[in-house]
Structure 1
Amino acid sequence: MYFILNRLQNVIISLLTVMVLWISMGETTHAQNPPSYNYSFWEESVPAPAAYEAINLIDGESLGVGALNEPNDLHITRDGQVFILDSGNNRIIHLDEHYNLVEVMDAFQLDGVTQNFSNPQGIFVNDDGHIFVADTGNNRVIHFDETYHVVKMIDEPESELLNDSFTFLPVKVVVDYAERVFVMADGVFDGFMEFSIEGDFTTFIGANRVRVDPIEYLWKRFATREQRSQMVMYVPTEFTSLDIDEKGFIYATSADNSDDMIKKLNARGDDILRREGYFSPRGDIRYTQSAGPSRMIDISVADHEIYSVLDARRGRIFTYNGDGHLMYVFGSIGNKVGQFHTPIAIERNADQFLVLDRALGEVTIFSTTEYGQILNEAVKSYETGNEERAHQLFAEAVNMNVNLEFAYTGIGKALLRQDEFEGAIDHFIQSMDRANYSKAYQLHRNQTLREHFSTVMTVAIVTIGGLTIFSIFRKRRLKKRGVSIE
């Protein structure tokens, strides 16, 4: 009943919010930050304030290096250095933390011979400043030091796990703190290729599950060998991108529209992504059949388990917290500032986002709004154990967006850590969070029993003692009267 009444209240508030936003949009059509949206517990689209706004554009002309030609990747280091992989021009463009040009690298020396890239698709820079490039057209991954001297080369790997016709086509690369190299290669369905610190191929990690059409599977059971040979072979879905966090966990996206299209892989390749939100992280929940589901093309992991994915189909960036709750959405396809033609890569730089557009050859810089900053800080405060601060910030976020249901869960969890169970219960009811509601209710019940334990025990002892004395007294009286009590 609590959940139903609360849902009716939220529906009314949502309708009022829509009316206010509609009026404000009509009066301020020139506003720079159009309202965004989120999804409710019922998987309905609800209005939300903009969390990010486009503030600048970077292209080759503004940098003085000529137009970018189908760039495919970019990477931002922890100190804010930006590396753009200009694939069509076979070069790397290095910018400083203020987005000013540092250098352009389009050739390097290998054994005294000048070498060039050939349609490179992926770039990664580790904390030591070493640069790893997936040089796709040359079938190799190149490891440079910070001065672009070649440290080692990973080319055609040899292993019993690879068939004789295998061609190494690396498209994405990341490196963990132990200097293990993980490569996403075109045409590989067994997962990511893992290479040792020496550059030797060791194993595959994190293969997607094979998804089979039940009807066709049944048909195969009764088909002849010749018929089966002409049927489509089922293979695992290919990955579309990967990123790695400071702890060495790999975040990856797949092309299929499944509940596990976004994964977090541990060292064994197990998916440990938490999906505790109202729905699994997969971009848009509501869409028309003609438009189709979100197609994730890139992923970027920030601190405190916050991650963002780029939907190439509609040009949207979806950001989730570590529990899998959708925090905010921004971006779209179009020809205005903050919109894209062919978004291909995304990177987070502190509280800014950089989105690379392959067709336009430009990078759009997004900066957080007040609402987005408050929400980011609320999640970070909770993850770092600052419950009081998290409570305050989530409350501010709710004041700005009454439709942000997961913020009530954030407040409830903060109160739970502070042993304020009654308040936590109220907020879990607001957020329709049954799992945490049950946990808070049980803790509240245990706390109540502990607080009143002495009183309960005293009453129980007195009651039992009184009954015992009464029974003894009664037996004695009856015995004196000569009445049998057996």
Structure 2
Amino acid sequence: MNRKAGFLLFLSLIILAAAPAKVMADVKYPTYTLNSYSDLVYMQPIYYPDSVYGNDLTVQDPDHPDKTLPSKLQGPKDIFIDKKDDIYIADTGNNRIIQLNSRGELARYITIPDSPLNNPEGVFVTDAGDIYVADTGNQRVIKLDANGLLVKEYGRPESRYIPESLKYDPVKLIVDKRGFLYIATNGGYQGLIQLDPDGEFQSFYGANDAKFTVMDGIKRALYSKEMYANEISKLPGSINSVTTDEEGFIYTVSGGDIEKNQLRKLNTRGDNLLTAESEFGTASDGSYGEYLISEVKKAEQKVQLIDTAVDRTGNMAVIDQQFKYISHYDSSGNLLYFWGGPASTSSNQLGLLQSPRALDFNSHGELFVLDDQMNLVQGFRLTEFGNLVSAANQLTLNGRYEESEKPWREVLRQNAGFTPAVFGLAKAAYKKGQYEEAKELFRLAGSQEGYSDSFWQIRLVWFQKNFSKLVMLFLIVTALYVGVTKWAARGKKRKSSQPLHAEKRRFLAELKHAFYLLRHPIDGFTAIRYESKASYLGAGIVLVCAIVSLIANEYMTSFSFNKIVIREIDVISIMLRFLLIWFGWVLANYLISSIYRGEGRFRDVFIGSSYCLLPFILIGLPLAILSNGMTMSEASIYGFFDKGMLLWIGLLFFWQIQSIHNYSVGETSINILLSAFTLIMIAVMVYVIGGLGGDLLSFIREIYLEVSLR
């Protein structure tokens, strides 16, 4: 290398070292999503840690005006980003509000010398620049103008609708475009307190539903008023935080013992607009806040959602204090992805969290997370992949499905397991009229509704194309039926010159009796007991047919009514579970009947219990086949036959026990309850004996190995 080249290289290194380059920090946390069947899918990072704020704050030294002293955050509780991307932090431990500009530089400390703040836990800034503070320690909400001057105080409102037991400790708040305040109080189970701009109480808004179990219903029915009053009150959970979006919807998150609908999107009437069932199966149980099952160390550990934020596109993010994950959902409540993880208590790692407390988005989609244990704010920026997902999702949410197709395909190219991308492509195909492709994509996305709508369009096109042929076929079949019926009525049935074999005659008689039993169940089961109208062979054939129907039902039922992955169907497992439960019931019923004045033999119970499964063969299998020509528009018809079949089977079991054992209705009911209890006890005994047997075998094996090795 000559001198000139060496000098240029040295100069280049100096320039690069001096340049204020922004380098992406290493991502220390994983990012996940769930596919349409709730299987965990690993993703490339959506956000990467970009910056840290609040760790270099200073104040002027009162003894040395030319010097500054460190003034770190102390237990901050809230963060808010206004329309100019200025950051406001409720610095609770220091009794102040901190304002940073859009670059994260300190703009000012907001204090009120004439009426000092006391542990403020919430802050909200309107588009006009007015600052509202939940001054928790002073049990008030205050309004400041853009200059930080006190304008108004909102103390405890006076109203006969507010119970005396309400503890007025404001922790979070928002202000809508009308100037109405929505205040979340510490432990306030009544919901948000709604005040008008003058501070007059309007109503309680958006309260959670009280948890009411079956046992509570039994207690209410059986207990006297005095006894029930002594029970622990069933109160709804309190709201932890509240936020709003540009359209005026109000979002709340709740923690504690609430396991469903912890995240809610409320309209002006307080109705929750988030559907309980996800469009692609990732939040189908109405619960929010994702985590890894492997990280649950104790049974009592539950998701503790502490705050939520909404970006400019309507996507929601919630933060969980328990497992330290941030979960992102689209505007309908469908899971997009979740990421994060706990930081080490001994050291701080950029991107990881120790005690996440609040979060908010700026106008560029950057996310800011406040940690009240690390006493700082971490900024996260979308990665290239994250920007691609955000752009595609925004097009889908705006109904521009065809435009979203290209970015969604690129997302799938980079991550083939990302369900929202499949769902977006399915919507695009449906919009373009490509219903066959849309149907398969909706199946992959786990959307039964989308699958059904696509099939409805396919079926409509097919009927329109083949209507004339169907009418002609119907007329031909009708004519043939009428002709054959008349011809059969004129002729006489020929009698077979060769008599049937005795076994064949018996089998045909049993088959005929099975259909007679369906029309006259009590007489039919009585004939099994006292006239030996059935045999083990016939019962075995019915049982085998029932198992075949059960397996075929799993394979052949339309995806619109049965969301099961065919490759995951375990035929052996289905057969074993069915036979164990069925035979366990036969054994339990026979044992109870032997004690409880039953007249039936084991043979009668076995045969009768198998014949009770006939409706599953006659209705279940045809219904599974016909479901492939049905859509969810005919769900009521499908449900009628499906539930009717189960009811029919249940009634047959009831009449079978009543007839075979010669019971009254009351005795039959008692017998069924005792048989069910016995079946449970048998299952417990088998489980215990199996566990002990396994331990015994392991012990014997260890002794054998010990002896043989010596």
TM-score category, normalised to shorter length: 0.7 to 0.9
Alignment partner, residue 138 of structure 2: 138
Alignment partner, residue 298 of structure 1: 307
Q: Is the 8 A contact 2:319 2:325 kept in 1?
A: yes
Cα distance in 2, alignment partners of residues 340 and 178 from structure 1: 36
Alignment partner, residue 21 of structure 1: none
Cα distance in 2, alignment partners of residues 257 and 105 from structure 1: 36
Q: 2:94 aligns with which of 89, 92, 97?
A: 89
Within-5 A mapping of 1:10-409: 32=27, 34-62=29-57, 66-107=71-112, 114-219=114-219, 221-223=221-223, 227-255=227-255, 256-274=257-275, 275-277=277-279, 278=281, 279=283, 280-284=286-290, 287=293, 288=296, 290=298, 292-335=301-344, 336-349=349-362, 350-409=364-423
Structure 2, gaps ≥5 residues long: 1-24, 60-69, 477-710
Find the residue that maps to 2:396 and give its secondary structure: helix
Cα distance in 2, alignment partners of residues 196 and 313 from structure 1: 35
Q: 1:230 offset after TM fit, Å?
A: 3.9
Cα distance in 1, alignment partners of residues 307 and 211 from structure 2: 22
Q: Is the 8 A contact 2:426 2:438 kept in 1?
A: yes
Find the residue that maps to 1:304 and give its secondary structure: coil
Find the residue that maps to 2:427 and give its secondary structure: helix
What per-residue deviation string (whole Å, max 9, x for no partner) do you get for residues 123-169 of structure 1? 11111111111111111111112112233221120011113454421
> Which structure has the greater CA radius of gyration?
2
Q: Is the 8 A contact 1:354 1:366 kept in 2?
A: yes
Structure 1, gaps ≥5 residues long: 1-29, 109-113, 468-486
Higher relative contact order (CA 8 A, sep 6+): 1
**Paired residue type of 2:269:** R
**Paired residue type of 1:325:** N
Cα distance in 1, alignment partners of residues 139 and 428 from structure 2: 50
Q: Is the 8 A contact 1:123 1:173 kept in 2?
A: yes
Cα distance in 2, alignment partners of residues 281 and 258 from structure 1: 6
Cα distance in 1, alignment partners of residues 167 and 141 from structure 2: 13
Mark the CA change 1:203 to 1:225 in structure 2 (over 3 Å): closer, same or farther. Answer: closer
TM-score calculated relative to the size of structure 1: 0.82
**Paired residue type of 1:194:** Q
Q: Which moved more, 1:291-300 or 1:372-381?
A: 291-300
Q: Is the 8 A contact 2:237 2:258 kept in 1?
A: no
Mark the CA change 1:250 to 1:130 in structure 2 (over 3 Å): closer, same or farther. Answer: same
Q: Which moved more, 1:39-48 or 1:121-130?
A: 39-48
Find the residue that maps to 1:313 and give its secondary structure: coil
Q: Which has the higher helix share?
A: 2
Cα distance in 1, alignment partners of residues 401 and 456 from structure 2: 21
Cα distance in 1, alignment partners of residues 58 and 426 from structure 2: 48
**Paired residue type of 1:276:** S
Find the residue that maps to 1:366 and give its secondary structure: strand
TM-score calculated relative to the size of structure 2: 0.57
**Paired residue type of 1:272:** L
Cα distance in 2, alignment partners of residues 152 and 35 from structure 1: 46
Cα distance in 1, alignment partners of residues 291 and 147 from structure 2: 45
What per-residue deviation string (whole Å, max 9, x for no partner) do you get for residues 434-465 of structure 1? 11011122123335666x59xx66x899x89x
Calculate percent identity across the aligned residue pairs: 27
Q: Which has the higher strand share?
A: 1
What per-residue deviation string (whole Å, max 9, x for no partner) do you get for residues 404-430 of structure 1? 122211111122233332332231122
Cα distance in 2, alignment partners of residues 303 and 421 from structure 1: 32
Alignment partner, residue 443 of structure 1: 457
Q: Is the 8 A contact 2:391 2:407 kept in 1?
A: yes
Cα distance in 1, alignment partners of residues 57 and 409 from structure 2: 42
Q: Which moved more, 1:67-76 or 1:39-48?
A: 39-48
